Structure 1
Amino acid sequence: MSGGLIPTAAPDFRSGFISIVGRPNVGKSTLMNYLVGQKIAITSPVAQTTRNRLQGILTTPQAQIIFVDTPGIHKPHHELGKVLVQNARVAINSVDVVLFVVDATSPAGKGDLFVADLVAKSSRPVILGINKIDQLSESGRKAAEVKSSYEAIAAEHGWDVVKFSALTGEGLGTLQDQLVSKLEPGPYYYPPDLVTDQPERFIMGELIREQVLLHTREEVPHSVAIAIDKVEEDEHITRILATVNVERTSQKGILIGKGGSMMKAISTAAREQMQKLVAGQVYLEIFVRVQSRWRQSRTRLAEFGYKVEQ
């Protein structure tokens, strides 16, 4: 995640911001990680994994694409949910191109139509991306049903359609070409070797949250906010001190586990990911703290980094 000098772009160089939108769990973060060639967004089988607008940067000889990964768009149930959906709406209207991602394993449903309406209200060029084609056979009744349901949405709004797999990379070359073709000539916004605009501390916190999601599944996931309290680096090791904030004492018990076993598993897995991030040894210490009803408090949300985009 280093950042060097910003070069001068050639006259035919294209650049711009592309928002990745869709329902929860359609594979938006997996897609962005694949395209930028590095893990910067966390992925998990739990819906609503993405919270903050995370920008992934892909620079090729022809273009620089800045991807804005947004929370899955859904009906909000608490203050945090409202902030997330509002931020996704802002992301749709503040970019150059919208990539609307849907899931090839099921036909278009109410959630997809809700997102399609939001996207259609923006004046931006839109590409409808059908993800997870690796999980669906090309022939058969279900494949035909899925294909026709999404093609009908695209046809109604005059959107281009690209099919791909964010897991295997199939079709992503075509997707990349389509996205670049919709961008205007423009400058380098970031140094070519940068893959995200987020500070390393933010990514560290997200890597811990990912392991909480993967290890605890339904019991704890969305009541968790991570604070990176201290990062100390020397030539041999990076020492990281973090706090996992939860809403209830029972959740704290689940996270720590019997004899500290759950926290040990979470810490070990997060540390392994962090070592890839910093390309060196990491010592990680995590504390768990109860912050009652933090998701309902605008003050706490801001403190944990969830601010409403203007």
Structure 2
Amino acid sequence: MTDFSGGWPEGFRSGFACFVGRPNAGKSTLTNALVGTKIVITSEKPQTTRTVVRGIVHREDGQLVLVDTPGLHRPRTLLGERLNDLVHATWSEVDVVAVCFPSNEKIGPGDRFLVTELAKVRGTTRIAVATKTDLASPERIGEHLLDIQRLGEETGTEWAEIVPVSAVAGDQVGLLADLLVGLMPEGPPLYPDGDLTDAPEETLVAELIREAALDGVRDELPHSIAVVVEEMGLREDRPPDKPLLDIHANLYVERSSQKGIVIGHKGARLRAVGTTARAQIEALLGTPVYLDLHVKIAKDWQRDPKQLRKLGF
């Protein structure tokens, strides 16, 4: 724990940084690695991040607040448009935008589209992060770094830093934290010591349930699953040394066929989702959990403004 009861030290820096990149570029995994615990969901399926969750990194010399955003993409639905609006608004509000380019993939049109959009934002420092270096050879990483530099030149983007990292292997994650803190303005801590995120517990719980529901389903389903925690609270009449947290949540899909996929044969998939999610929630909150899940249909909710509002978008 860091004690700032006598005031923060001279030269202390604090501010906001945002990881951006095309879907599945390693943004959420990097956020979790820097914070030191799981606060944002990860998935091999693209476009899984929907809510902006702030992860907080506490250090002796600074406090780094990491903003996790959806991957920028060409929207096909009203939900997609709203997610993109969220990304653009965040870029203009943070101190540093870190663009993630996975080292095991070549830079493509999606990367160019994103950097070109980012070039329109004024007054925000930009750095480039070559992610997933554990999946690429040294020669490939070298080529990748040159490609990132070239993309910056072609789009009029000046990179304050270009740094290769592997969040999974832990390579250069500490160096990235040093670089980010060094780019923050001097100022007091923005959040109390010990806080790891400012996201409500209900939001984190809903995201962990959705992550468990995404695992192993068909490629088209991630976009169609939304989770709402309807009730969450400690069960009454339990002794203080044996608490139990009751959570009642609904998983919303768009069609009856999708409902069948999520529930599975005789409910087997939904039970597996509950088992996985409950373990993750208990690890996050440190309390035994009773998790009650139901699957409901909200027809074409991604395109319906009324349904989007109901589901929190």
With the shorter chain as reference, the TM-score category is over 0.9
**Equivalent AA in structure 2 for residue 178 of structure 1:** L
Q: How does 1:282-297 map to 2 (within 5 A)?
A: 282-297=289-304
Partner residue, 1:191: 192
Identical residues among aligned pairs (%): 37
Gaps of 5+ in 2: none
Q: Does 1:126 align with 2:123?
A: no
Q: Aligned partners of 1:153, 1:107: CA distance in 2, in Å?
A: 12
Correspondent of 1:149 among 137, 147, 150: 147
SS for the counterpart of 2:67 is strand
Residue 68, structure 1, aligned to residue 64, structure 2: no
Which residue matches 1:269?
Answer: 276
CA distance in 2 between counterparts of 1:17 and 1:174 reads 17
What's 2:209 paired with? 208
Q: Structure 1 unaligned runs (5+)?
A: none
Report if the CA contact (8 A) 1:154-1:161 is conserved: no
The answer to whether the Cα contact below 8 Å between 2:133 and 2:141 also exists between their aligned partners in 1 is no
CA deviation after TM superposition for structure 1 residue 232, in Å: 2.2
* Superposition deviation, residue 35 in structure 1: 0.5
**Contact 2:115/2:157, CA 8 A, preserved across alignment:** no
Query: Residue 107 and residue 220 in structure 1: after superposition, are their counterparts in 2 closer, same or farther (change >3 A)?
Result: closer
What is the CA-CA distance between 1:52 and the residue it aligns to? 1.2
Of structures 1 and 2, the one scoring higher in RCO (CA 8 A, sep 6+) is 1
- How many Å apart are 1:219 and its aligned residue? 4.8
1:170-189 to 2 correspondences below 5 Å: 170-189=171-190
**1:81 alignment partner, SS class:** helix
- Whole-angstrom distance in 2 between the partners of 1:201 and 1:217: 26
In the alignment, structure 1 residue 247 sits paired with structure 2 residue 254: yes
Aligned to 1:104: 103
Describe the superposition over 1:79-116 as per-residue Cα deviations: whole angstroms up to 9, x where unpaired.
Answer: 00101111111111111111111110122111111111
- Give the superposition deviation at 1:7: 7.7
TM-score, normalised via structure 1 length? 0.93
Does structure 2 conserve the Cα–Cα contact (< 8 Å) formed by 1:25 and 1:45? yes
Q: How far is the alpha carbon of 1:173 from its aligned partner?
A: 1.4
8 A Cα contact 2:254 2:299, kept in partner = yes
Q: Does 1:222 align with 2:223?
A: yes
Once the two structures are TM-superposed, the CA of residue 58 in structure 1 deviates from its matched residue by 0.7
Residues 210, 6 of structure 1: CA spacing in aligned structure 2 closer, same or farther, 3 A cutoff? farther
- For 1:102, the aligned partner's letter is F
| SS of match in other structure, 2:216 | helix
Please tell me the residue identity of whatever aligns with 1:243: N
Cα deviation for residue 143 of structure 1 reads 4.0
TM normalised by structure 2 equals 0.92
Counterpart CA distance in 1 for 2:192 and 2:244 is 27
Contact 1:76 1:85 survives alignment (8 Å): yes
Deviates further, 199-208 or 152-161 = 152-161
Q: Distance in 2 between matches of 1:7 and 1:149?
A: 47
- Structure 1 residues 220 and 66, CA, compared in 2 at 3 Å: closer, same or farther? same
Q: 1:6 to 1:54 in 2, by over 3 A?
A: farther
Q: Deviations over 1:150-195 (max 9, x none)?
A: 1212455331201100111101111111111111101211111001
Give the counterpart of 1:299 among 282, 302, 306.
306
Shift of 1:298: 1.8
- The offset of 1:11, in angstroms, is 3.2
Q: Is contact 2:130-2:144 (8 Å) kept?
A: no
SS of corresponding position for 1:29: helix
Deviations 1:249-272 (A, max 9, x none): 111111111111010111110011
What is the SS of the residue equivalent to 2:174? helix
Give per-residue Cα distances to partners, 1:106-135, cap 9 Å, x unaligned.
221111111111222222111101100111
CA–CA separation in structure 1 for the residues paired with 2:11 and 2:204: 33
In the alignment, what sits opposite 2:169?
A: 168
Q: Return the letter of the residue paired with 1:180.
A: V
Note closer, same or farther for the CA distance 1:145–1:76 as it changes in structure 2 (3 Å cut).
Answer: same
RMSD (Å) for aligned C-alpha atoms: 1.7
Q: Which amino acid aligns with 1:87?
A: L
Structure-1 residue corresponding to 2:79: 80
Question: Residue 92 in 1 paired to residue 87 in 2?
Answer: no
